Structures are given as C-alpha cells and as structure tokens.
C-alpha cells in the first residue's frame, strides 16, 4: 500500500509538470532550420582594410583566444570541454542508471578563462557579431572574397561560438538535482508525524520545481547557441554542436532518473510510483538526446567523417538508441 507521503510525492511531481513536461526543442535535428533573415545592403564599414585582411586578422585572434581558452583547463577532454565523464557506481540509490555517467566539471584558471572569453567576444564583435541574428554569416560586416579565406573565416567563427557555448555548458553540468538534507544525528530516526512529512514533501517538490525551471532555461539558451553553429556550414563544427546538444538532454534526464529517492517514498509501493513518474519525465527528455545523437551520426556519414567527434557520436547513439 502506498503511504500518504508517497502519494504526495508523486502528486507534487505531476502537478508541477515534471512527469508530463514535454521534451525541450533541441533543434539539432534534420528538419530544424533557423528563422529566415533579410540581408542588409552591406555591413559596418571597417576603416580601409579589405574584408579579406580583416577576416584574416579575426581568424588569428580567434585561434589565439581558443588556445588560451583550452589552456585555462588543467585537462581538457578531446572535445575542448573542461569536464570528465566518469562511470557511475552500480547499485546507486536512484531510480535508474545514468547514460552519460557522472560528469565532473574541472576548475578552470579563472582569469585566463575570462580573458579568453573576452577576446573571443571582441573578435566576433569586430565583424558585427553582437546578437543571435547579427551573427548570421550572411549578415556580418565582413564578407571575404577569397574562397579559402571565407572557409577559414566561417570555421573560426563557428569555433568561437562553440567555445562561448562551452562556458555555459560547463556551468549547465553543475546544475544537479539537490539531494534531501540528511540528519547528522546518531540517534535512530523517529517516525515523522503527518505535518512534518507534509513539510518535507513540499520542500522536496519545491526543489524539484526549481531544478526543472533552471535546467529548462539553461538548456534552451545553450541549444539556441548550438543550433546557430549550423549556419557557418562547417561540417566538424556541426558535429561538435550536435554532440553537445545530445549531452544537454542526456544530462538532464540523468539527473532525474539517478537522483536519490526521497525518504517520503521509502516504502516499496511509494518508491515504485515515484520512480515511474521520474522515468516518464526522463524518457521524454532522453529521447531528445537520442535524436540529437542520431542527427550527429547522419551528418558524420554525409561528410564521411571519421574524426574523434564523429566516432563519439556513433558510439553514443549506438549505446543509447532503443
């Protein structure tokens, strides 16, 4: 029989929108297209330098800032992020297993990282990239004439946007579902009265609601940046963006399914009801991650890429696809 506290836990979860909340619109999917834009006659005048000269200078500035950004981390992973994916311990106290494992965010050298991000922003602003719309490559103040310079220019801008998004992604990985506060008393816990149990359930519901809202806001902001990288038409940058979009969704679903079951749902029936609700919420979000990984593998096949990021997409999709 489900306890009253257990019923309240599941009820709060459903009423807060957790169990039935739709998946976020990741957008790294085959049909996703940015909103159409209208190109102005010409961008911002840039002294007397030619567009090719300015583009070359900006490429150098972005490449240098990107090196500094990577160097601000004691141990970047192969994708340029200052994180490590660690296998989750088996027999955890949550409702299921993590897909990504435990994401450990390493600490960057603060001043170096801030300087690199400022240089990236300055380089992008120099060519008129100040907002999501103005960063569209068709609307920039610089349009190189030389095809090779144009290709390198777009690749550099995509790398800059990726590094800017990575700063937010590393912060996003730190948004974890808060655990219940545990007592430090050595005395055996006494049975809670109804009022105390109700307060605990309400507090847990509030934490869950805050987590869902914070995670949604952060994921939408991140995915918006990642989708825009498609506009630069650099195949490897698109793979990096799609892989990250998959991670965004999978980390969110992992936090739901692997979080410790609250004490209010300690009995078997309450735990089962709670975990069914969390599994439903996690499944919706996880599916977005599966689709983003699938999109990444499709793009890797189209470009015949066997790069490290292409292999990572294939491995991830093969592991998480139903």
DSSP β-bridge partners for residue 322: none
For residue 276 the two structure tokens come to 């069914």
Evaluate if residue 32 carries a pLDDT over 70.
no
User: Does residue 134 or residue 262 have the better pLDDT?
Assistant: 262
In contact, 307 and 239? CB cutoff 8 Å:
yes
Element (DSSP H or E) covering residue 86: strand 83-86
Can you give the residue range of the structural domain that contains 47? 43-175+197-320
Residue 13 lies in a domain: no
What pLDDT band is residue 183 in, cutting at 50, 70 and 90? very low
Residues 6 or more apart whose Cβ sits within 8 Å of residue 244: 79, 162, 165, 166, 169, 222, 226
Residue 315 lies in a domain: yes
User: Does residue 126 or residue 39 have the better pLDDT?
Assistant: 126
Residue 282 lies in a domain: yes
The mean pLDDT value of the chain amounts to 80
Q: Rounded to the nearest 10 degrees, how much is the dihedral formed by the CA atoms of 229, 235, 245, 161?
A: -30
Radius of gyration of the CA atoms of the chain, in A: 23
Residue 134 lies in a domain: yes
Segment 125-168, tens digit of pLDDT: 999 888 766 788 888 888 899 999 999 999 999 999 999 999 99
Residue 189 lies in a domain: no
For the segment 260-272, the average pLDDT, to the nearest whole number, is 81
DSSP β-bridge partners for residue 102: 86
Residue 2 lies in a domain: no
User: Does residue 29 or residue 124 have the better pLDDT?
Assistant: 124
Q: Rounded to the nearest 10 degrees, how much is the dihedral formed by the CA atoms of 314, 315, 316, 322?
A: 90
Name the burial class of residue 296, with classes exposed (0-12), middle (13-18) and buried (19+) by CB atoms within 10 angstroms of its CB: buried
Quick one: what percent of the chain has pLDDT higher than 90? 47
C-alpha to C-alpha distance for 113 and 110, rounded to whole angstroms: 5
User: Does residue 298 or residue 96 have the better pLDDT?
Assistant: 298
DSSP string, 91-130: T-SSSS--SS-EEEEPPP-HHHHHHHHHHHHHHHHHTT--
Q: What's the confidence (pLDDT) of residue 90?
A: 66
Q: What's the confidence (pLDDT) of residue 184?
A: 34
pTM (two decimals): 0.80
Q: What's the confidence (pLDDT) of residue 28?
A: 53
Highest mean pLDDT among 44-53, 219-228, 261-270, 293-302: 293-302
Residue 11 lies in a domain: no
Segment 251-260, tens digit of pLDDT: 999 988 888 8
Q: What's the confidence (pLDDT) of residue 37?
A: 42
Q: What's the structural domain count of the chain?
A: 1
Residues 6 or more apart whose Cβ sits within 8 Å of residue 296: 28, 239, 242, 243, 246, 310, 313, 316, 317
C-alpha to C-alpha distance for 318 and 297, rounded to whole angstroms: 10
Other CB atoms within 10 Å distance of the CB of residue 182: 8
Q: What's the confidence (pLDDT) of residue 176?
A: 79
Lowest mean pLDDT among 66-70, 143-147, 173-177: 173-177
Q: What's the confidence (pLDDT) of residue 180?
A: 57
Q: What's the confidence (pLDDT) of residue 260?
A: 81
Taking the alpha carbons at both ends of the chain, their separation in whole angstroms is 33
């Amino acid at each position: 029989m489900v306890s009253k506290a257990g019923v309240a836990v599941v009820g709060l979860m459903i009423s807060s929108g957790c169990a039935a909340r739709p998946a976020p619109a990741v957008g790294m999917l085959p049909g996703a297209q940015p909103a159409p834009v209208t190109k102005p006659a010409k961008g911002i005048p840039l002294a007397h330098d030619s567009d090719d000269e300015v583009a070359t200078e900006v490429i150098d500035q972005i490449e240098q800032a990107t090196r500094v950004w990577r160097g601000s981390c004691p141990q970047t992973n192969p994708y340029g992020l200052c994180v490590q994916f660690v296998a989750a311990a088996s027999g955890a106290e949550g409702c299921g297993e993590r897909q990504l494992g435990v994401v450990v965010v390493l600490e960057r050298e603060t001043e170096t990282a801030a300087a690199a991000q400022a240089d990236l922003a300055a380089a992008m602003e120099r060519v008129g990239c100040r907002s999501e719309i103005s960063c569209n490559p068709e609307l920039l103040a610089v349009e190189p004439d030389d095809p090779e310079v144009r290709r390198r220019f777009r690749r550099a801008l995509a790398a800059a946007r990726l590094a800017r998004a990575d700063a937010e992604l590393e912060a996003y990985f730190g948004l974890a579902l808060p655990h219940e506060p545990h007592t430090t008393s050595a005395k055996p816990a006494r049975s809670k009265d109804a009022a105390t149990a109700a307060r605990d359930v309400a507090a847990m519901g509030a934490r869950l609601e805050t987590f869902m809202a914070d995670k949604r806001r952060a994921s939408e902001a991140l995915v918006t940046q990642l989708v825009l990288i498609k506009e630069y038409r650099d195949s490897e940058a698109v793979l990096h963006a799609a892989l990250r979009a998959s991670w965004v969704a999978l980390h969110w679903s992992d936090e739901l399914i692997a979080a410790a079951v609250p004490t209010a749902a300690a009995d078997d029936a309450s735990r089962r009801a709670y975990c069914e609700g969390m599994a439903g919420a996690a499944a919706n979000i996880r599916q977005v991650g599966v689709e983003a990984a699938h999109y990444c593998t499709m793009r890797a096949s189209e470009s015949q890429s066997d790069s490290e990021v292409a292999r990572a997409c294939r491995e991830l999709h093969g592991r998480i696809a139903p």
